[in-house]
Amino acid sequence: MVMMSFTKSMSAQVTIGSGKPPNPFALLDLCTTEQKKGLHNARMTTAQRDMLVTPNSPLADREEARGLVIFNITNNCLEFFNGKKWVSLCAPAEITESGSRLTAFVNVMYDFQQQELKAFVTEGNGKPSSWQWQMRVGNTGEWKNIAGATTSTFKIPANFIHQQNLNDFHTEELYFRCLLSNSASKNIATNELGILFINTANAGNNNGVRYFEMNIADRTVPNRTIDVALLNLGASEDDRTGSMGGFFQWGSSAEQEHTNWSKVGSGNTVINPASNWSSSTSGEWGIGRLRHEVSDWTDNNPCPDGWRVPSRFDLGDMHNSKGTETGSCSFGSEISCGLISTTWRWRPMNEEAQAFGGMLITNHNNGAVIFLPAAGYRAGSTGAFGTSVARGGLRGNYWTSSAIDDDMQAFDFHFNAQGIVIGAGGQERANGFSIRCVR
């Protein structure tokens, strides 16, 4: 009987400090509402604590001591052993390298643009108390602190790369990271982000539009060039979205609020569904169908005065050596297409930093580089933002001014990691695509 009673008492739940039944989840339930008393843990110095167990104790002892709690009178902190080491509840949790993150918006910038970088930690990591942003030139350069960049965000200022005494380049890659610290961790580095800077010292400016002159292969006009705007239509130089710009339905004279990049939402629907864009009354961007002069343009032209939406011939000429209205190129292992007039090279998205890439077009004649971001698109039927394979960062869709004669579709050009397609098929005019103006 004695043995049976002892066994039962060992398995029972107990309440101390009250006559109430114990909490069903508690083996020992301490109630203080009536007696106003607390739990007094074992008190000892650090030296006495380490006589119990340390990180150097045998594995079996460390496993047995896991969950042990004491009050350390050396530092006046409650501590517990987690199976590997003593952890103080007074000190913040450690910051881990895997939990330290850096994010941005794009991984290509013109030298006149600005962009904000953010450093943060994932759930379960300690909160940083100090930050130090660093940069290096190329992926083998020496890391250097950026003066004054000591908060969780760092806004790359305009002309930052020239402030580093880098001027003689067409493109230059700078790498960024942030060192995070608190009382438990020192200088834990986030992931690195490489940003390709494009020098625009030789860019032109017409009617407020910065541009580069690009050579094109035109069978009918030798040595023909075309001016290409540096930014997408609707973008601003200091916008957080960089050169993304807006999304336009074909034939629209202005960017619609519902297609604006900053207001993308998968639950939104476009104002004008595809059925409203099924006839020529929806407007056109060009009277002709081939290489347009300014006189060919209607009042519906969304570009600034003197600028226009490129025709599929314009793009075909710039892309290939045959001067046809269509063209395509598969990157293969080279991730670039070397052509007579220009080279088109894919810049992958940095998934870890969530930084968009896109298409880089280099002029063989003067080294000028144009960046077309992979901004994604808005679907005309639902307003949804891209798809799993065509969302922002993975694909770019840009309108041409060239319509298809059925009045329901128009030609675009699009690109992704696999290659480029120009004017090879029709797209529903209600889709919201990007626009890069030319002249």
The reported pLDDT for the residue numbered 327 is 54
Q: Are residues 17 and 131 in the same domain?
A: no
Do 248 and 297 have their domain in common?
Answer: yes
Backbone angles phi, psi at 87, to 5 degrees: -120, 125
Domain C-terminal end among 59, 90, 121: 90
Integer Cα distance of 328 and 423 in angstroms: 9
So what's the pLDDT on residue 265? Answer: 32
Q: What is the pLDDT of residue 119?
A: 96
Residue 325 structure tokens: 């209205």
Domain shared by 416 and 272, yes or no: yes
What pLDDT is stored for residue 94 in this prediction?
82
Q: Which two tokens stand for residue 53?
A: 């167990």
Residues 210 and 148 in one domain: no
**Among candidate residues 152, 172, 198, the one where a domain is terminated:** 198
Q: How many domains does the chain have?
A: 4
In this structure, the answer to whether residues 177 and 134 fall within a common structural domain is yes
Residue 47 neighbours by CB distance under 10 Å: 8
Query: Are 248 and 137 part of one and the same domain?
Result: no
**pLDDT score recorded for residue 267:** 33
- Per-residue confidence (pLDDT) for residue 257, from 0 to 100: 38
Q: In the structure encoding, which two tokens stand for residue 293, read together?
A: 């002069």
The predicted structure's pLDDT at residue 113:
92
438 within domain boundaries? no
Confidence at residue 82, expressed as pLDDT on a 0 to 100 scale: 93
**Residue 76 belongs to what domain range?**
40-90
- Do 323 and 398 fall into the same domain? yes
Residues 6+ apart with CB under 8 A from 253: 283, 299, 300, 301, 302
Please give the pLDDT value at position 288: 45
From 165, 198, 231, the end of a domain falls on 198
273 and 408 part of one domain: yes
Write the secondary structure of 7-41 as one string of H (helix), E (strand) and C (coil): HHHHHCCEEECCCCCCCCCCCEEECCCCCCCCCCC
pLDDT tens digits for range 197-220: 999 999 999 988 999 988 765 555
The residue type of 370 is I
Q: What pLDDT, on the 0 to 100 scale, is given for residue 4?
A: 40
Per-residue pLDDT at 164: 92
Q: What is the DSSP string of 41-63?
A: --EE-HHHHHHH--TTS-HHHHH
Same domain, 268 and 340: yes
Residues 131 and 183 in one domain: yes
Task: Classify strands 409-416 and 395-403 as parallel, antiparallel or unpaired.
Answer: antiparallel
pLDDT along the chain (439 residues), means of 10: 41 76 82 77 94 94 94 91 89 83 92 93 86 94 96 95 90 96 90 96 92 72 79 75 74 52 35 39 52 54 85 73 48 48 85 89 86 84 58 81 74 84 76 87
Domain contains 436:
no
192 and 340 share one domain = no
DSSP category for residue 6? H
Same domain flag for 192 and 264: no
